[in-house]
Amino acid sequence: MNARLLPYVLILPVTVFLCVFFLYPFALVAQQAFAGDGGFGLENFRHVVSDWKFPISLKNTLLLAALVVPVQLALSLLMATMVTRMEKGRDLVLYIWTIPLGISDLAAGLIWLAIFDQSGFLNSMMAGLGVIDRPVSLLNYQHPGIVLAAIALAEIWRATAIMLVILVAGIGLIPKEYYEAAEVFGASPWQRFYKITLPLLRPSLQTALVLRIILAFEVFAVVAALGGTVFPVLMGQTYELQFALNNSAGAAAMALIILGISIGFTLLVLRVLRVPKGARI
Amino acid sequence: MAQIQIKNVAKTFGAYQALHSIDLTIADQEFMVLLGASGCGKTTLLRIIAGLESATTGEVWIGERRVDHLPPRDRGIAMVFQNYAVFPHLTVFENIGFGLRMQKMPEAEVKRRVERTATLMHIEQLLKRYSGELSGGQRQRVAVARALAMEPDVILMDEPLSNLDALLRLEMRAELKGVLAESKTTAIYVTHDQVEAMSLADRISVMHQGHIVQSASPIEVYRNPAARFVASFIGNPPMNFLPATPAGGGTWTVAGEHFQGPKTDAAGLDFAIRPEDVTPSETGLPATVRLVEPLGAHLLVTFAVDGHPFRAVLDSERVIQPGERMRLAPQKGRIRWFHPETTQAVS
């Protein structure tokens, strides 16, 4: 076979697969979102945005992302640094820390529901310790703060490991000599982290943050399990439009709005953490 | 500006003894080269002095201070690494100024020192570049400039030229020598390249299997190797060795010829002579030519002397054929003797 053609032939199956099962449905969704009574327009967008629940779900989604992502970033950096320094048992610790990754997000939501529920562990523990007289309902509209905290906690527990894995791999790529040079030239352990690890980890931080932020805007099952209607989020609204209100054009518009937000934040992360040409390892 | 003292330093990695009780004093402003094959412990010793590795036992003194319990940054040292370790995310300026900024030096002084050392290393036009935009030789210059900018008491260099191509290495070698002599810094330089060691060092410490076998000036190490290992490690081609048997009264028989040697009661000695210290003559060691390698400036001829391989560097004008028999006369005063069991030099 012609050697110049071979690469294209080899990527053909994947390309066809992506076109049929990704690009085509995506085009359909987009078409649906922009379709209206009088041909193409922004009617569907106007409709979903003017819903009274839209601002609150947008606010909730952004709030949750703003709360969860920085905590996860800090935690995963700390954990990655610890794992990297370990000489023994490194793999075991890494496996244990990544267990939550293997659990579906709905199951994760249910696990935390079992803790925060009126008949859950937290209530029975507090009752047992005599902090409260009888079980109280924590996850309702009277305690929005607790609902938010429970969702954030569940999200942090569930999805920190995805960042951890990327950062551990990234730290492993930084040559040891840079740390030794920094040490000889006077950098304290904290300065070595701040002046060597962080800047050299930028490519991995980009990947981890982009992935995590996209996931944060797609948050759904954990919120559904713990917050229900008390804590509406964008993806929950999309689900409701599609399945409760049978408004698939509206759902398509919502999906595109979420996509737009994700792309916006992705570009922001790529811009902020860009590595100048010639400054790569 | 400091003298370095290494007292009884030993290092073990698990069951492996990397360094055996090293004692070494390096004078203020001396250029000391640690020379040895890979795995001889030279880099470990350098890293112990730097503080990147801790000694299992022993003490390291720099100047009047014992430093083996101090972190690297408190030892008054700077280091040039084998792979340069020029930080890729910083510009050349920021790299050279890294240590100075860590010391919280005023920015004007940082600028002055960075510019001065950059000019010294001829990289003043590269200050805004990143290391990814530099050639290997330029990175090497940045690494040296970064160390010099610290104006350290001691500068440590771990095979700094080994990643450069041959021509560049020669150029940098000469430059390093000049720059370091100018800076009046005590320098310790690790290399496995004997030519580099000879050309740079005030004193060479030849290391072998975790021991310092000899510590002396380059010419002394070359002319009077303290042990058979040094004789065979230094010099290219290395020294020739032939077994000698006693003929009484300090006379020794080598390949049927008599030579005046040390007066000892040993049952046998090793006779040693450098390849360039023999000349074809009417008398001397009987030799048969095995191989002739013309090297331009001279001929490298491999002989068999009494069944032992023996190499000589001869004038390239001579016409020599394999199988030819001749006699090789050792130059007076250049014959060395080693004890076959202890491998130490005997005089």
How confident is the model over A197-255, as pLDDT tens digits? 999 999 999 999 999 999 999 999 999 888 888 889 999 999 999 999 888 889 999 99
Residues B94 and B18 in one domain: yes
pLDDT at site B215: 95
- The answer to whether B104 contacts chain A (CB < 8 Å) is no
Write out pLDDT tens, residues B101-133: 999 999 999 999 999 999 999 999 999 999 889
Average pLDDT over residues A124-129: 84
**Angle subtended at Cα A106 by Cα A120 and Cα A60, rounded to the nearest 5 degrees:** 90
CA B186, distance to chain mean position in Å, is 16
Nearest-CA neighbor of A232 among A32, A66, A61? A61
Across chain A, mean pLDDT equals 89
- The answer to whether A137 contacts chain B (CB < 8 Å) is no
Q: What is the band of A128 on the pLDDT scale with cuts at 50, 70, 90?
A: confident
CATH of the domain at B279: 2.40.50.140
Q: Smallest CA–CA separation between A227 and chain B, in Å?
A: 44
Q: At what angle do helices B107-120 and B136-149 cross, to 10 degrees?
A: 130
Residues B188 and B251 in one domain: no
**Got the DSSP string for B314-333?**
EETTS---TT-EEEEEEPTT
Indicate if the pLDDT at residue A130 is higher than 70: yes
A46 φ, ψ to 5°? -55, -40
**Residue B182 contacts residue B14 (beta carbons within 8 Å):** no
Give SS3 for B334: coil
Of the listed ranges A225-234, B80-89, B181-190, the one predicted with least confidence: A225-234
**Beta bridge mates, B196:** none
Q: Do B73 and A200 touch (CB under 8 A)?
A: no
- Tell me whether residue B235 is in a domain: no
Count Cβ atoms below 10 Å from residue B293 Cβ, excluding itself: 11
Nearest-CA neighbor of A209 among A119, A148, A274, A122? A274
How many Cα atoms within 13 Å fall on the side-chain side of residue A234?
Answer: 26
Q: Does the structure's ipTM exceed the value 0.90?
A: no
Residues B116 and B217 in one domain: yes
- Tell me whether residue B270 is in a domain: yes
Nearest-CA neighbor of B33 among B22, B41, B42? B42
Of A183, A202, A277, the CB nearest to B52: A183
Tokens representing B161?
Answer: 């030229």
Nearest-CA neighbor of B55 among B205, B210, B268? B210
Which of B227, B256, B280 finishes a domain?
Answer: B227
Residues B14 and B127 in one domain: yes
Which H or E run contains B240? Answer: strand B240-248
Q: Which of A87, A177, A185, A204 to mutate to test the interface with B (most CBs of B within 10 A)?
A: A185
- Tell me whether residue B234 is in a domain: no
The β-bridge relationship of strands B154-158 and B203-208 is unpaired
CATH of the domain at B178: 3.40.50.300
**Residue A44 contacts residue A33 (beta carbons within 8 Å):** yes
**Got the DSSP string for A155-172?**
HHHHHHHHHHHHHHHHHH
Residues B272 and B201 in one domain: no
The pLDDT > 90 percentage for chain A reads 55
CA A203, distance to chain mean position in Å, is 18
Q: Do A199 and B89 touch (CB under 8 A)?
A: yes
Residues B218 and B294 in one domain: no
Residues B31 and B174 in one domain: yes
Query: Chain A partners of B83 at a C-beta cutoff of 8 Å?
Result: 175, 177
Of A178, A185, A202, the CB nearest to B99: A185
Indicate if the pLDDT at residue B98 is higher than 90: yes
Q: How many residues does chain A have?
A: 281
pLDDT at site B271: 94
pLDDT at site B277: 94
Residues B272 and B326 in one domain: yes
Residues B254 and B223 in one domain: no
Q: Which of B44, B48, B49, B87 to mutate to test the interface with A (most CBs of A within 10 A)?
A: B87
Which of B194, B227, B260 finishes a domain?
Answer: B227
pLDDT at site A56: 92
Tokens representing B232?
Answer: 């065979």
Q: At what angle do helices A144-172 and A90-98 cross, to 10 degrees?
A: 150
- Tell me whether residue B45 is in a domain: yes
Q: What is the band of B34 on the pLDDT scale with cuts at 50, 70, 90?
A: very high
Q: How far, in Å, CA of B336 to CA of B221, rounded?
A: 12
Nearest-CA neighbor of B65 among B51, B52, B79, B53? B51
Q: How far, in Å, CA of B226 to CA of B204, rounded?
A: 12
* Per-residue b or e along A243-263, where b marks 16 or more CB atoms closer than 10 Å to that residue's CB: eeeebebbbbbbbbbbbebbe
Task: Write down the domain spans for chain A.
Answer: 60-237
Q: What's the domain count of chain B?
A: 2
Residues B178 and B258 in one domain: no
Q: How far, in Å, CA of B47 to CA of A154, rounded?
A: 47
Average pLDDT over residues A71-99: 91
Cα dihedral A79, A82, A87, A89 sign: negative
Q: How far, in Å, CA of A109 to CA of A103, rounded?
A: 10
- The answer to whether B54 contacts chain A (CB < 8 Å) is no
| Fold designation for A60-237 | MetI-like fold (1.10.3720)
Residues B170 and B260 in one domain: no
Q: Do A185 and B89 touch (CB under 8 A)?
A: no
Write out pLDDT tens, residues A1-30: 688 899 999 999 999 999 999 999 999 999
- Tell me whether residue B59 is in a domain: yes
pLDDT at site B166: 85
pLDDT at site A138: 78
- Tell me whether residue B233 is in a domain: no
Indicate if the pLDDT at residue A38 is higher than 80: no
Q: Smallest CA–CA separation between A196 and chain B, in Å?
A: 8
B53 Cβ contact partners less than 8 Å away, ≥ 6 residues apart: B11, B44, B47
Full domain range(s) for residue B8: 4-227
Task: Show the beta-strand stretches assigned E in chain A.
Answer: 35-36, 39-40
**B 118-177 near A (Cβ less than 8 A):** 129-133, 146, 150
Residues B194 and B259 in one domain: no
Residue where the block lists tokens 């610890």: A82
**A 182-241 near B (Cβ less than 8 A):** 182-187, 191, 196, 199-200, 202
Q: Smallest CA–CA separation between B318 and chain A, in Å?
A: 52
Indicate if the pLDDT at residue A44 is higher than 90: no
Indicate if the pLDDT at residue A51 is higher than 70: yes
Which of B202, B227, B252 finishes a domain?
Answer: B227
pLDDT at site B1: 59
Percentages (nearest 5) of helix, strand, coil residues in chain B: 30, 35, 35
- The answer to whether A180 contacts chain B (CB < 8 Å) is yes
